[in-house]
Amino acid sequence: MERTKSKMAYEEAINYIPGGVNSPVRALKAVGETPLFVDHAVGNKIYDIDGNVYTDYCLSWGVFLLGHAHPMVNKAVLSAVKRGTSYGIPSLQETELAKLVRSCFPSMQRVRFVNSGTEATMSAIRLARGYTGRNYIVKFEGNYHGHADHLLVSAGSGVARLGKSSSAGVPDSFVSQTIVVPYNDEKALEQVFQKKGKEIAAIIVEPVAANMGVVLPKEGFLQFLRDITRKYQSLLIFDEVITGFRLSVGGAQKLFGIEPDLTAVGKIVGGGFPAAAFGGKSDIMQMLAPDGPVYQAGTLSGNPVAMSAGIATLTELMKPGFYEELNTKVDAFERKIKKAIEGKGIVLSRIGPMFTLFFKEGKVENFSDVKQTDQERFARFFRYMLNHGIYVSPSQFEGNFISIKHTQKDLDRFVRLVRDFNE
């Protein structure tokens, strides 16, 4: 595929924007490409400025479960824009979306809207510390919870290749009260709580790790997190920015039957606009200002356009049969893709409509396993798929996503390309 205009656009962008992009992984450096510049997107297709068409399995990093430019979402957004794009004053849309979120996530008895997943997890942690009066936070290697300073340690996603502190500019003191434990390692976590349990405010976890590729929790692992936090009177925070509304209408917590104390959701909840939320039990959430001493605020939080997009999106997802239809397609896709990768040294990890193809032999249970993947093989695979009109997430440390708009024909073509990939 010819991408001359995208290359020229990138050469211009780097003169004005650091690295030419506003989020590092978009630069495609790890896969040896220059970025695509998108003209528009509809359904499961993205169209670049050179006129190329790609079937999209990144979906704005998991946002578009309904596909791009869904007509009901667009209609709601255009209606909202005509009434004003921001007020800085409460609107009815905020309460309406909060009601929908709580109906999907009963554990989120009270909800506060913010503008990004980073804000949601950052605020949830501040709240957990304020509520418990404790300072230490436990996170897991390879789990990425946004780019707040105290969470940029052993992180996944776009910082997966960086060093211990995961970013320059983060003083050691900022991460000194963040304890990192291997994902899926109950023994290591128990040892941490035996030493520091009375000082630990919360565990924060991606219930299904989706920022080191898709890595599933071992059987009983999430229940162990619930049990040990209750034993030591710490809080359990589920980061469902990616899994929320994707694995089920009630996210991973509904799928696995685990009720956390606090939850962060993002991406899908904003219907394609900058919006996220955190919420939890009423007595915890009442610690937030203006009711309590834990401060959190945002000029554009609860933005009426984003709230309208979220309302329209969740309304579609809550229609009977939505997830059954989606998972039926993806179940068939999984059976076919497993046959296609036999003998290729590729591992499929999939749950619901999210999956990763890991370029390695053997199991994938934690960040150490993921770091053993063959990055050069993945880069060749990315370029191969791109040149055949398939856009997968451009990092071995990210998940891929299937929307309701992906057809059986689309999925079968993906399988065929994987089968024919000869490096």
Whether 87 sits among the annotated catalytic residues: the reply is no
Radius of gyration, alpha carbons of the chain: 21
pLDDT for 151 equals 72
pLDDT recorded at residue 377: 96
Q: Which residue has the higher pLDDT, 244 or 24?
A: 244
Per annotation, catalytic residue among 139, 254, 267, 329: 267
**Chain Cα centroid distance, residue 322:** 20
The secondary structure of 340-387, three-state, reads HCCCCCCEEEEECCEEEEECCCCCCCCHHHHCCCCHHHHHHHHHHHHH
Instruction: Please say whether the structural domain 71-317 has been given the CATH code 1.10.357.10.
Output: no
Q: Which part of the chain has CATH 3.40.640.10?
A: 71-317
- Percentage above 90 pLDDT, the chain: 90
| CA 372/CA 357 separation, integer angstroms | 13
What pLDDT, on a 0 to 100 scale, did the predictor assign at position 146?
85
- In the predicted model, is pLDDT for residue 158 greater than 60? no
Per DSSP bridges, beta strands 38-42 and 347-351 are unpaired
Task: Tell me the average pLDDT across 42-46.
Answer: 98
Identify the pLDDT of residue 152.
Answer: 65
154-163, 259-268, 413-422: least confident range: 154-163
Active site includes 82?
Answer: no
Q: Tell me the helix, strand and coil percentages in the chain, rounded to 5.
A: 40, 15, 40
Question: Closest Cα partner for 127 from 291, 287, 301?
Answer: 287
Q: What is the pLDDT of residues 304-318, one digit of tens each?
A: 999 999 999 999 999
| Tokens coding 87 | 């007020």
Per-residue tokens: 400: 């891929």
Q: For residue range 102-156, what is the model confidence (pLDDT) as tens digits?
A: 999 999 999 999 999 999 999 999 999 999 999 999 999 999 998 776 676 665 4
- Across the chain, mean pLDDT equals 94
| pLDDT over 60 (residue 96) | yes
Helix crossing, 304-317 with 71-82: angle to 10°? Answer: 150
Parts of the chain belonging to CATH 3.90.1150.10: 4-57+321-420
Which CATH code of 3.90.1150.10, 3.40.50.300, 3.40.50.1370, 1.10.3720.10 fits the domain covering 4-57+321-420?
3.90.1150.10
Q: Is 156 helix (H, G, I), strand (E, B) or coil?
A: coil
pLDDT above 70 (res 160): no
Token pair 């790609």 is at which residue? Answer: 54
DSSP helix/strand/coil, 56: strand
pLDDT over 70 at 217, yes or no: yes
Q: Quick one: pLDDT band at residue 173, thresholds 50, 70, 90? A: confident
Q: Which of 54, 131, 136, 144 is catalytic?
A: 144
pLDDT for position 165 = 55
Split at pLDDT 50, 70, 90, the class of 166 is low
Q: Active-site residue among 239, 261, 369, 410?
A: 239
> What is the pTM (predicted TM-score) of this model?
0.93
Query: What pLDDT is stored for residue 159 in this prediction?
Result: 39
pLDDT at 156: 44
| Beta-bridge mates of residue 265 | 240, 277
Q: pLDDT for 314-365, tens place per residue?
A: 999 999 999 999 999 999 999 999 999 999 999 999 999 999 999 999 999 9
Reported as a pLDDT band with limits 50, 70 and 90, residue 45 is: very high
In one-letter notation, the amino acid at residue 270 is: G
pLDDT score of 420 more than 90: yes
* 144 among known catalytic residues: yes
| pLDDT score at 154 | 60
Among 55-64, 80-89, 176-185, the range scoring the smallest mean pLDDT is 176-185
At a CB cut-off of 8 Å and minimum separation 6, what does 40 contact? 46, 47, 69
Residue 195 CB neighbours (<10 A): 11
Alpha carbon distance 269, 311 (integer Å): 8
pLDDT in tens, 225-256: 999 999 999 999 999 999 999 999 999 999 99
Predicted confidence band of residue 162 (pLDDT cuts 50, 70, 90): very low
Residue 417: pLDDT over 50 = yes
d(CA 156, CA 27): 17
Return the closest-CA partner of residue 414 out of 332, 359, 324: 332
- pLDDT category, 422, cuts 50, 70, 90? confident
